[in-house]
Structures are given as C-alpha cells and as structure tokens.
Amino acid sequence: MMTTSSNGIHAESQSTVYVLYRRRFYILGVFSFLSFNQCSFWLTFSPVSPSAQSYYNISSSTVDLLLNWGPIIFIPCLPLAYILLNTRNGLRRTVICIAVACFIATLLRVIPSIVVSHSNPHFKTIALSFFHAGQIINAACGPLVMMPVSQLSCLWFGPNERARATTFAIMANVFGSTVSFVINPWIVSRPSNLPYLLYFHLGLALVAGILTLAYFPAQPPKPPSHAAEVLMNVENNNSDSGFKVYMKGLRQCIMNPSFVLLAIVGGVMTGTFSVWTSLFSTILAPENYSEQQAGWFGFASSLASIVGGFCLGALADSSRFRRSLKMLIIIVLIACFIPIVWFQLSVRSVFYDAHVLSSTQYTIGIAATLVGLFQGAAAPLVYESLAEITYPLPESLSASVLVQLNNVTFLTLLFAVSGRYKIMNLLVVIAIGVSIVMAALARVSYKRRDEDERKKREGNDTMQLNSTISTTN
C-alpha cells in the first residue's frame, strides 16, 4: 500500500515502513554547505597568493604550507573521523563537529586583524600563528566532510536517488574550490582587502553553524530503504566502534580484489588530477600562457567536473543504468583519456621540447574542460560502486579508503614532482590509462541494491497475499 503525508512518502509492508522524508533535501543542503565552506576555507590564501605575501610579508612557501596542511592533517585524522561517524548518532555528531570546528578555525584567522595593528612589528608573527592554527583545525574537518557522503545518501535517500545525492555532496566540496578561484581575487582586489575575505569566511561559518545547530537529526525516524534500515540498526546497537572494528572492516575491504582495484582507480585518479590542475600555470608557462589564463583553464576544468558528476549521477539513478556502474566508469575514463592525450601533445613533455600539435587558448581550454568533465563524472560512480561491493559494511568505510588514497596520492605527488611539471603532465596520462585497465578488471556486484529489491519484492508479495485473503473472506 502507498500513502502520502506531510512528512513524506510511505512504502508499507508487513514488517517495515520505508519513508522518504522531504526534510532529506534540507539535510543534504546543510551538509553540502558545510562541505563547501570547508574547502573554501582551506583554499583561502592560494588564489590570492601575491596579495597574501605582500600584506603579511610572507614567502610563497609559507602560502603553500597553509594549503598543504589539508592533506597533511587529513591522513592521520581519517581513522578518528570514521570512529566518530560510526558511533551512536554519529552523523549528527560529525556534522556538529564540522560546524563548530570551521567556525573556530575562521574565528582564529580574524583575531590578528582585530587585536593587532598592521603596523605592529609583531603582526606577521602573530598572524601566522593564528593562520596555521586555523588551517590545521579546518584541515581536520576534511575527512568529516569527504567520508560521510555515501552514508548520508544511503541513510536519507531512496535507492533510486542515492547516486545523485552522493554526487551533490561530493561536488559541493569541489564547488568550494572552484568558486574560491573567482571570489577570492574579486574580494581581495588589493592586499589591504585580505582581512575582508577572512571576515566573509567567518560569516559563512556562522550561518552554516546556525543552520546545523537549529536542526540536523542523527537519522530519519524511519528508514527510506532496507540498506538504510541495516545501517540504522548497526549504529543504534553498536557498542564497539573503536579502532579494532575499523581495522577489521578495512581488512575485509582489502581482501576484495575488485574493491582494491576500484579504490585505486578513484583515489589515484582524483589525487593525480588535483595536482595536475594545480600546476597549470607552470605547465602552460613555456607555451606563453599567463597565470590568469591558466587560472581560468583550471576554473573551467573544475566547473566541468561538477557538471559531469551531476549528469552521470542522474544517469546512474535511471532505471536503464542502475546496474551499469562499471560500464559507465569505463566509458567516462576512456572519454577522459582522449582529451588528456590531446593536452599532452599540445604542450612540451619529457619526450620532446616542442609540442606535437599546434594549440591556441581555445583548444587548450577545451581539452582541459573535457578532462575535468569526464574525471568529475567518474568520481561519484566510484563512490557508489565501492558502497555496493562492500555492503553491508558502512558506506563510510569504503569512502574513507577512497579519500585516504586520494590524499596520499596528492601529498606524495605534490612533493615528488615539485618543479618537474613535464613528469606530472605525463603521470596524469599514465594514471588515466592504468585506471581504465583496472576498472575493466574489477567486478562490481550490487549487494546493496539486490537486498533493497529483495525486501521490496517481499513487501509486494505480502500486500498481494493480504489482498487475496481479504477477497476470500
């Protein structure tokens, strides 16, 4: 029987009532706002590096360190974030931690502008101390916004909405960095305006914190699917969610070859892509492109990744492609490989000093945009594939492995290829090519969807039986 109410849509069976609440969009919106903020705060200084160096009298390496706190702190904090998320009321606790920590981080960064004059000889030392503290606290929120995306979508959304919800949560974080490359230079039109950017971020953190504390339940009153029901039961009855449980689940994941292959595909591909786009200005400088042009190429690529993610997320939720995640991943990776090779042949490389193909700002822009489009399309599909493979383990476990590989790859390449842009330009081609092979070798099983559909069939059979009994009587 199907009924509707002001709270949502009910699917009723003999044992369980599955409910889709309208408030799920508010939950996703608040979480995405927090994720957007966290990435925006992380990328505060890099888009306005010259102004930051001038106003605070610091070096470019100091600006880089403020950025690099993100992956540095992310790696050790990830297991702790997983343990927090999988405690009782874990999602609510996690989201409140994000809101409070981001507010504290942005508050710390504005304190020097309030209490110390810019002309004070100790202004630089005091400001940097607060900046580093703020960036470290914000960096600790990285795992808290990246890891719960699959778990949140499973907990609040129906089986045919999960890919889109996961995509929205992932791309909100990406959108934070995309917007920062445009908004930050606009606010900091001159070095003395840099404190205005910090105040603006404090305002964003305050609004997000108020929305979170006003209403963000740990879980819906009734689950929207059988997978959500299992997840809620585990959270409510879990008395031991410590490090041993995390390691046990991690071992189960690692013992699955398909999981390992797809986790490497998602983590290494995303980490390599992030480093590659961050080096656009260096890669394109020998081709006589300015830093501003390189910045716009990076912006276009990042924006295209968001569009690609939303398009493929919607496609993966459609009835025709719900069980075609592997096929979709391989298709978009092949589609990504073609423009990345085009880009490689249009610039200098380790094999030749002059580019093979002639290029203009339009061809370079199109190639970078297409790479971003298809790379972004693959990301949410990998998240959902890993969640299906590892079910009934929590979705946050597979996501934690994926984002950890992403950050380890990013941090390793950031230091390994420093000043070697030609190698980085080659590595991104190799990474996409190898990812195609590994994705083809992986086997995606739909354990979570199979269980959801089995329970749905049981509910339909029960309703038909009850209807037959009523007719007989």
Instruction: Give the pLDDT score at 468.
Output: 54
| pLDDT of 461 above 50 | yes
- Give the C-alpha separation, 443 to 460, whole Å: 30
Lowest mean per-residue pLDDT among 25-34, 211-220, 406-415: 406-415
Instruction: Give the pLDDT score at 464.
Output: 61
Asked if the peptide bond before residue 339 counts as cis, ω within 30 degrees of 0, the response is no
Query: Structural domain boundaries of the chain?
Result: 20-241, 249-442
pLDDT per position as a tens digit, 415-441 = 777 667 778 888 888 999 999 999 999
Of 84, 89, 76, 110, the C-alpha closest to 408 is: 76
Instruction: Give the pLDDT score at 279.
Output: 76
The CATH code that applies to domain 20-241 is 1.20.1250.20
Instruction: Give the pLDDT score at 9.
Output: 44
DSSP 8-state symbol, 12: E
Q: What is the pTM of this model?
A: 0.81
pLDDT per position as a tens digit, 253-274 = 888 898 899 999 988 888 888 8
Of 372, 82, 26, 60, the C-alpha closest to 208 is: 26
Element (H, E) at 10: strand 8-12
- Give the C-alpha separation, 10 to 324, whole Å: 28
| pLDDT of 215 above 90 | yes
pLDDT per position as a tens digit, 441-450 = 988 888 777 7
Of 334, 399, 408, 364, the C-alpha closest to 94 is: 399
Instruction: Give the pLDDT score at 321.
Output: 79
Portion of the chain with pLDDT greater than 70, in percent: 90
Q: Which CATH superfamily is domain 249-442 in?
A: MFS general substrate transporter like domains (1.20.1250.20)
**Fold match between 20-241 and 249-442?**
yes
Residue 446, token pair as written in the block: 């739909």
